[in-house]
Structure 1
Amino acid sequence: MKTIEEILSDLQSLADPEYISKMEYFGIKGGQALGIKNAVLKPYAKEIGRNQELANELWNQPMHECKHLAILLAEPKLFTEEIAEKWTRECYSWDLVDGIGMKIIPQTDFAYRKVDEWSTREPEYEKRMAFATMVGLSLKGAKQPDEKIRLFFPIIEREAWDERNFVKKAVNWALRQIGKRNSSLNKEAIQVAERIKAQGSKAARWIATDALRELKSDKAQARLHK
């Protein structure tokens, strides 16, 4: 197994300073970025293999890519609620939130409870974690029953007022993802979007209008009725 020192050395050799400006363009800021593309980081993570102890060490490093590598190496069965809270509190960028919420939390036994908790948090990225986790749970690969996914609709509707960029985009994302899961949930998501639109706030109108555009589109409907 590679040591943390060996990994840090490897990451330095994979660094591409020119890619840092592209990361910033997509709103990935904070931390000490090395400029390593996901297409490079993922194969490297596969070589190392899952290891929660190593993931914990990497998360505590200041480099942005160390935290991404930590997400890729995390073992869901060993990813405790305490670790989930620590990582969530320490997120400073949307891509870290989405990586944790989509790839790790849905595989834990506390995912649904944390969605409910995080959805009412004040910090922007902690709140986003709730909706990123919804997206992860809503993917077909997560094999979650529709009955459990429907539990997210009241939360989405309740939190559609939040105008903060990384929250409202995540609320919209979760609503669209659920609505693309199957025809039944598509109809329900459209109804939820219509109610959100009627709330009248600027954030709610944006969330609903954008979601309805995709959920009602010919492309989405054709795929659902295949």
Structure 2
Amino acid sequence: MIGPSSDAAELIAHLQTLRSEENVAGMARFGIVTGHALGISNPDIKAVARVAKKDHVRATQLWRSDIREARLLALYTVEPKRLTMEEARNWANDFNSWEIVDCAADLFVEARLDELISDFAADEREFVRRTAFAMIAGAAVHLKKEPDATILAWLPLIEAHAGDPRNFVRKAVNWALRNIGKRNLACHAPALALARILAESPDKTARWIGKDAVRELAGEKLLARLR
């Protein structure tokens, strides 16, 4: 039986018992890196996390395993208040999948490591740059008490990187822009204005990001909710 006292090796051994080759094949179709995957679903990993509880040191040990599920378990069981900028940067060096990135981005937002956003955006590595915009997308939704000015201050970063054509970056930039626009009325107008500018861009990627964002942000359904 696993529990809060289980060490990293014991948790990894437990994860190994849940392995599913069929699921591994299915994950690959969704762009999930499966080289070190066991094929365990996120709900099942979260179930393990609920039993194992938070343990910061153990989470760092789980991360070093290179196993997809162990790394997700690390993200679910690390203690956000203890997570340092250096640890987050070190983990980001290992990012190789949108799934890991998006989970880590939520953690980094919860840990209030906002200063990393500009650094990650400036990083040329695809998944590190994606982290910046996944963090913005998450912050726009989850940091409800944060002043809108903090959220809107990231719009220039979105504009600056809207021309990055790499799939996992452009989708995250689009995601960030849409989430800012959906936050509230105060954020909606500036986000929609930027979306319209990008929609007229000569750059193909920026134009796609802008048009897609305009489609959602100018929709009557969203406007009715924001009012």
Q: If the length of structure 2 is used for normalisation, what is the TM-score?
A: 0.94
Residues 30, 92 of structure 1: 8 Å contact kept: no
Are 1:218 and 2:220 matched, yes or no? yes
- 1:82-161 equivalences under 5 Å are 82-102=86-106, 104-111=107-114, 113-161=115-163
In structure 1, stretches of 5+ residues that fail to align are none
Residues 198, 211 of structure 2: 8 Å contact kept: no
* Cα separation, 1, equivalents of 2:211 and 2:186: 20
| Structure 1 residue ranges, 4+ long, deviating more than 2 angstroms after superposition | 107-110, 140-143
What do you get for the CA RMSD once the two structures are aligned? Answer: 1.3
* Cα separation, 1, equivalents of 2:195 and 2:59: 38
Please report how far the alpha carbon of residue 218 of structure 1 lies from its aligned counterpart in structure 2 after TM superposition: 2.3
Please report how far the alpha carbon of residue 4 of structure 1 lies from its aligned counterpart in structure 2 after TM superposition: 1.7
CA deviation map 1:52-102 (0-9, x unaligned)? 111100100021111111100111111111110111010110111111112
Residues 30, 93 of structure 1: 8 Å contact kept: no
Q: What SS class does the counterpart of residue 31 from structure 2 fall into?
A: coil
* Cα separation, 2, equivalents of 1:219 and 1:10: 46
Q: Which amino acid letter does the alignment assign opposite residue 82 of structure 2?
A: L
Task: Report what 2:25 is aligned to.
Answer: 21
Please report how far the alpha carbon of residue 7 of structure 1 lies from its aligned counterpart in structure 2 after TM superposition: 0.6
Q: Which amino acid letter does the alignment assign opposite residue 173 of structure 2?
A: V
* Cα separation, 2, equivalents of 1:23 and 1:30: 7
Task: Report what 1:59 is aligned to.
Answer: 63
Q: Which amino acid letter does the alignment assign opposite residue 113 of structure 2?
A: F
Q: Kindly tell me: are residues 94 and 204 of structure 1, through their superposed partners in 2, closer, same or farther at Cα, counting changes over 3 Å?
A: same
Residues 164, 205 of structure 2: 8 Å contact kept: yes
Please report how far the alpha carbon of residue 10 of structure 1 lies from its aligned counterpart in structure 2 after TM superposition: 1.0
- Deviating more after overlay: 142-151 vs 155-164: 142-151
Residues 161, 173 of structure 2: 8 Å contact kept: yes
Please report how far the alpha carbon of residue 193 of structure 1 lies from its aligned counterpart in structure 2 after TM superposition: 0.5
Are 1:48 and 2:52 matched, yes or no? yes
How many residues end up aligned between the 2 structures? 223
* Identical residues among aligned pairs (%): 37
* Cα separation, 2, equivalents of 1:159 and 1:4: 38
In structure 2, stretches of 5+ residues that fail to align are none
* Cα separation, 1, equivalents of 2:111 and 2:138: 11
Q: If the length of structure 1 is used for normalisation, what is the TM-score?
A: 0.94
* Cα separation, 1, equivalents of 2:200 and 2:91: 36
- Deviating more after overlay: 165-174 vs 134-143: 134-143
* Cα separation, 2, equivalents of 1:16 and 1:55: 23
CA deviation map 1:95-128 (0-9, x unaligned)? 11111112x11133431x2111111111111111
* Cα separation, 1, equivalents of 2:224 and 2:25: 38
